[in-house]
Amino acid sequence: MRSFVFDAMPSRVLFAENAIEHLPREIEQLGARRALVLSTPQQEALAKDISRRLGQRSVGVYPHAVMHVPIDVARKARDEAVRLGADCVVAVGGGSTVGLGKAIALQSGLPILAIPTTYAGSEMTAIYGLTEDGMKRTGRDRRVLPKIVIYDPLLTVDLPAAMSITSGFNAIAHAAEALYAENLNPITAMMAEEGIRALAQGMPQVAKNPRDLDGRSNCLYGAWLCGAVLGTTSMALHHKLCHVLGGTWNLPHAETHTVILPHAIAFNYLAAPEAMGRIERAMKTPNAAGGIFDLMKQLNAPLSLKEIGMQHDDLDRAASLVTEVPYYNPRSTTREGILRLLDGAFFGRRP
Ligand code: NAD
């Protein structure tokens, strides 16, 4: 076996239906007495419920998280945390809310307790993102990794089926690219394969019945693993494509990951046979790219860039932006090759 470094994330994780009931004990364990609860405006009611559960240990709710963490939103949130004398933040929601918590932690060093309600997986990474003047920059910093994560499948039953499915493919994308990452190790490979397996099992259950708790548990467990491998490996072509498309044309995050995934996998297929074998085993399919596409179709996920707001005229520029700055990918990328990939994704052709 070749030598490797496995950078384990030091979070404490609770995973159970009703795990949220242990929140006061966990806050105590963190040594915190004044928690500020963060959410989006859409999840304010849930944040208030969390705050109520914390009683004296909550200093209030800050329900202003938005997508991609604009820097002014992050500064205002940090100022509010300082004004209220908060000694920790509780982030309840998806990647946007966890992202706001990370921005506060980065500026103040306050610990984060995360309660994820989507499958984005940000709670398992030390990666943060901040948007300034329309440009999103990302970085890694140990301070932003949540100290405690509470996964409670009951909190995810209201995530609409369509969002659950695109969020699930977003998670699978992390694991798929981890499997051909240049810094992959055997532990991460095991986690990535199991993450894909759990999501491929859970998503059809959730699509059929969004309140199916077994399906919700499978998806959340898969999302945890996929987030963890995102945090410990470096991503390649798929994430580069989504970063460019999302950042330049403001395409919706999880939908973009969904549409691009089978095409990025097809592009890298011959260059990463071991990774493809693991994806195929996890999804019980003879072909990783085709299998992902077929599952998307079966679950009524968006299949084309066209239907999520991209214009065909912009593909040329996208291909240039993707290939301009070199980055690791198992197969070398050319402008023409990427343009072909994007054309297939634009029309939603089965790869
Ligand atoms: P999101 O957090 O923006 O949530 C989308 C919407 O769904 C919000 O209105 C939210 O309030 C609502 N919602 C969330 N959970 C719900 C539930 N259970 N029921 C009903 N509504 C619910 O979306 P997301 O896809 O989770 O996160 C996307 C963001 O996360 C992007 O900005 C992305 O860059 C970031 N991200 C970061 C990392 C990282 O490691 N830093 C990893 C993955 C994603």
Residues in the chain: 351
Q: What is the DSSP string of 37-98?
A: EE--GGGHHHHHHHHHHHGGGEEEEE----TT-BHHHHHHHHHHHHHTT-SEEEEEESHHHH
Residue 269 CA, ligand 1 centroid: distance in Å = 29
For residues 276-294, average pLDDT: 98
CA pair distance 259, 249, nearest whole angstrom: 15
For residues 109-129, average pLDDT: 97
For tokens 């559960």, name the residue. 53
Secondary structure of residue 100 in the 3-state scheme: helix
**Nearest CA, atom 40, ligand 1:** 122
With 0-12 CB in 10 A as exposed, 13-18 as middle and 19+ as buried, what is 33?
middle
**Nearest CA, atom 5, ligand 1:** 94
Helical packing angle, 273-283 and 288-298, nearest 10°: 30
With 0-12 CB in 10 A as exposed, 13-18 as middle and 19+ as buried, what is 136?
middle
**Nearest CA, atom 27, ligand 1:** 95
Q: Nearest to residue 251, comparing CAs of 196, 315, 180, 206?
A: 315
pLDDT in tens, 306-350: 999 999 999 999 999 999 988 899 999 999 999 999 999 999 999
Q: What is the pLDDT of residue 1?
A: 65
For residues 119-129, average pLDDT: 96
Q: Is pLDDT at 164 greater than 90 in this prediction?
A: yes
From 37, 118, 119, 123, the mutation candidate for ligand 1 (largest count of ligand atoms within 8 A of CB) is: 118
3-state SS, 119-167, equals: CCCHHHCCEEEEEECCEEEEEECHHHCCCEEEECHHHHCCCCHHHHHHH
From 37, 48, 62, 67, the mutation candidate for ligand 1 (largest count of ligand atoms within 8 A of CB) is: 67
Residue 99 CA, ligand 1 centroid: distance in Å = 9
CB 110 within 8 A of CB 104: yes
pLDDT in tens, 226-280: 999 999 999 999 999 999 999 899 899 999 999 999 999 999 999 999 999 999 9
Report residues whose beta carbon is within 6 angstroms of any ligand 1 atom.
40, 42-43, 67-68, 93-97, 99, 117-118, 120-122, 125, 127-129, 155-156, 158-159, 167, 230, 253-254
| pLDDT: which is higher, 2 or 278 | 278
* The ligand 1 atom nearest the CA atom of 156: 18
Secondary structure of residue 255 in the 3-state scheme: helix
CB 310 within 8 A of CB 346: yes
Q: What is the pLDDT of residue 189?
A: 97
